[in-house]
């Protein structure tokens, strides 16, 4: 509020919004917003209780409340310098609807200012921003207006100056420069990401100009703080990078209020080279965060090399790789609620525990994801579930390493594993695939835990609970799994069971998987009632009966293929291929044939069957 006067006649008092109580006072109010105030007397917005001169221009006084409802917004005598919005002018004089550009309602027909709640709309202070249908928009006097609004946004933003403290503009801003600057200039070609975060209205979306594709924004002024509802829509993880420049964390998402939560979405970015001696090298989150279609790579922190979460976070269709935690949680440390879906947690390092994910007292859900090649130097290469609750569904935990317990380890925790594959993890001692420690519960259903280092697949201080239909390569005598009971297939140290699975590779879907090979005991050995309706790749279950593990085999496996082409060479277009099959009941599709040919496999298929392939 811009106020000028002499003497002690201006009182900004509660419950009245603004009270003038001296005949020697003069007050001028320009481009201000007075709303949502309540008084038990008259003039909920402004009360002039004496003969003072109070002049208003380009100002909103509306949406206030008083005991004498006829004077809810104003009470007393005023001077209009024009272009004000008075919700109810019946309680005072000086304002006439349509005169001097004033918009004035009455007690019986008040004018609603149509403003947002008081919130962070950019700038240093909270504001009420006009909603798109507000009568304040474009109805101010440009000659009487400040050149900047309360947030220091330039006026006008539209066809004319807006009435009130805040200039309306569309909620979305487009970043048009790779420079990390903050000069307040939002002219086209000079909008930085830092400026866009600061100036975008709450609930808005930040986009990026297509001309920035292939570029990188290297932060030079520290982390990017987000304290309001916001969506950052990038150009794709392969097209736009935000770098902490190996100097600072990249994003700090925190509204500073433990009693409220904001919603932030980051989509289509690579976030890299974030560095902090604190927590969360790329992202520190204490709010509601969604990360989509993004890559978080090569960041460093004490806890949570990539992400440190104490709020609610969802990571989907993303890759978290090559991050380092000097303590726990190389990829992610979770102390809140974390969901990882259709994502890859790969090659992260924790110098202590939880190379991929450290679930430290939080709630973790992993679905349709692969956690592989992570390192926890002391414990838990893949997932460390410490005093938390972890649910792993349709996921692959593979090739992780730790001094102890390479795959998943739990302590004073609850762990549930459903239709997942835990294999090829490396560590010392028992439980290189799955370890259930002191005070923990672990329930495993329809899952493969086999083929881990030295066939030390499971280990436990606390017993496991079998949900049935698991393939355990070597139970190590741990209680909970008995061969032939509840559909479990259980090997021993003397006779471990080879799960017969392929290498970790692209078998379709968003993440790498281990395919079931011919002869695998996991094929059709699951429980249909306990299985998700699709496998990790999104293939419908069941194809026959449900398979154990994260991978559902489609049809009978084709092990070899030796095509005989008509003619001496293949030309562009359609060519006819003759082949024979070992299984005469199965005719492979053109796509299957093309893949087998490209893999240079040989063998025989059933003679006499032909199909057409398109060779480019």
Q: Burial-class residue 518 by CB neighbours within 10 Å (0-12, 13-18, 19+).
A: exposed
Tokens found for residue 30: 């320009």
Nearest C-alpha neighbor of 338 from the set 374, 391, 399: 391
572 found inside a domain: yes
303 found inside a domain: no
Q: Give the pLDDT of residue 17.
A: 63
In terms of residue numbers, what domain contains 600?
Answer: 564-615
364 found inside a domain: no
Full DSSP string of 549-611: SS----SSPP-----EESSSS--SEEEEEEEEESSTT----HHHHHHHHHTT----EEEEEEE
Q: Which helix (H) or strand (E) holds 204?
A: strand 204-208
Q: Pick the last residue of a domain from 134, 169, 204.
A: 169
Q: Pick the last residue of a domain from 169, 185, 203.
A: 169
147 found inside a domain: yes
Nearest C-alpha neighbor of 331 from the set 370, 293, 288, 286: 370
Q: Give the pLDDT of residue 157.
A: 84
119 found inside a domain: yes
* pTM of structure: 0.75
Contacts (Cβ under 8 Å, ≥6 apart) of 347 = 321, 322, 373, 374
Nearest C-alpha neighbor of 468 from the set 550, 375, 531, 516: 531
531 found inside a domain: no
Question: What size, in residues, is the chain?
Answer: 616
Nearest C-alpha neighbor of 417 from the set 461, 374, 465, 362: 465
pLDDT of 328-371, one tens digit each? 999 999 999 999 999 999 999 999 999 999 999 999 999 999 99
pLDDT of 153-184, one tens digit each? 889 987 789 999 999 876 788 999 999 999 87
Q: Give the pLDDT of residue 282.
A: 99
Considering its fold, how many domains does the chain have in total? 2
Tokens found for residue 166: 């805040």
- The low-confidence residues of the chain, meaning pLDDT below 50, are 1-15, 557-588, 592, 595-596, 598-616
Q: Give the pLDDT of residue 24.
A: 63
Find how far residue 76's CA is from the centre of its chain. 52
599 found inside a domain: yes
259 found inside a domain: no
Q: Pick the last residue of a domain from 126, 146, 169.
A: 169
């Amino acid at each position: 509020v811009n106020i000028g006067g002499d003497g002690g006649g201006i009182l900004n008092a509660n419950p009245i919004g603004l009270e003038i109580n001296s005949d020697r006072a003069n007050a001028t109010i320009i481009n201000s917003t007075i709303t949502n105030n309540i008084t038990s007397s008259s003039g909920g917005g402004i009360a002039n209780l004496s003969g003072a001169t109070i002049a208003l221009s380009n100002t909103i006084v509306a949406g206030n409340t008083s005991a004498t409802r006829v004077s809810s917004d104003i009470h007393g005598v005023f001077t209009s310098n024009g272009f004000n919005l008075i919700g109810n002018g019946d309680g005072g004089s000086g304002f006439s609807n349509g005169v001097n550009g004033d918009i004035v309602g009455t007690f019986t027909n008040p004018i609603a200012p149509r403003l947002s709640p008081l919130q962070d709309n950019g700038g240093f202070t909270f504001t009420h921003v006009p909603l798109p249908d507000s009568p304040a928009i474009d109805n101010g006097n440009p000659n009487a207006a400040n050149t900047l609004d309360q947030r220091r946004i330039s006026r006008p933003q539209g066809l004319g100056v807006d009435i009130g403290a805040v200039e309306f503009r569309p909620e979305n801003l487009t970043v048009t420069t790779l420079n990390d600057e903050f000069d307040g200039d939002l002219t086209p070609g000079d909008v930085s990401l830092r400026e866009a975060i600061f100036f975008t209205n709450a609930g808005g979306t930040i986009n990026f100009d297509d001309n920035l594709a292939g570029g990188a924004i290297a932060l030079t002024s520290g982390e990017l703080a987000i304290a309001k509802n916001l969506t950052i829509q990038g150009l794709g993880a392969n097209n736009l990078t935000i770098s902490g420049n190996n100097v600072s964390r990249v994003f700090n998402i925190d509204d500073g209020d433990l009693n409220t939560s904001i919603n932030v979405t980051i989509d289509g970015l690579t976030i890299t080279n974030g560095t902090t001696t604190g927590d969360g090298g790329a992202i520190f989150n204490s709010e509601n965060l969604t990360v989509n279609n993004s890559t978080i790579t090569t960041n460093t922190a004490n806890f949570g090399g990539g992400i440190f979460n104490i709020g609610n976070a969802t990571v989907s269709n993303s890759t978290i790789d090559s991050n380092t935690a000097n303590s726990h949680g190389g990829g992610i440390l979770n102390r809140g609620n974390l969901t990882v879906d259709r994502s890859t947690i790969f090659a992260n390092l924790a110098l202590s525990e939880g190379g991929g994910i450290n679930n430290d007292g939080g709630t973790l859900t992993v679905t349709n994801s692969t956690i592989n090649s992570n390192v926890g130097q002391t414990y838990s290469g893949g997932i460390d579930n410490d005093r938390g609750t972890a649910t792993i569904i349709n996921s692959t935990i593979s090739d992780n390493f730790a001094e102890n317990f390479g795959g998943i380890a739990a302590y004073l925790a609850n762990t549930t594993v459903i239709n997942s594959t835990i294999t090829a993890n490396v560590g010392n001692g028992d439980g290189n695939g799955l370890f259930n420690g002191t005070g923990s519960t672990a329930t495993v259903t329809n899952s493969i835990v086999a083929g881990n280092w030295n066939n030390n697949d499971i280990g436990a201080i606390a017993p496991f609970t079998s949900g049935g239909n698991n393939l355990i390569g070597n139970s190590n005598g741990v209680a909970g799994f008995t061969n032939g009971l509840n559909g479990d297939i259980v090997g021993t140290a003397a006779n471990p069971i080879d799960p017969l699975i392929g290498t970790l590779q692209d078998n379709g879907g968003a993440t790498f998987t281990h395919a079931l090979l011919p002869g695998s005991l996991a094929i059709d050995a699951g429980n249909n009632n306990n299985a998700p309706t699709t496998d990790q790749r999104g293939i419908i279950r069941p194809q026959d009966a449900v398979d154990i593990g994260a991978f559902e085999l489609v049809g009978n496996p084709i092990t070899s293929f030796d095509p005989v082409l008509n003619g001496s060479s293949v030309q562009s277009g359609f060519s006819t291929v003759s082949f024979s099959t070992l299984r005469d009941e199965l005719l492979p599709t053109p796509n299957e044939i093309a893949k087998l040919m490209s893999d240079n496999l040989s063998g025989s298929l059933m003679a006499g069957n032909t199909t057409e392939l398109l060779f480019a």
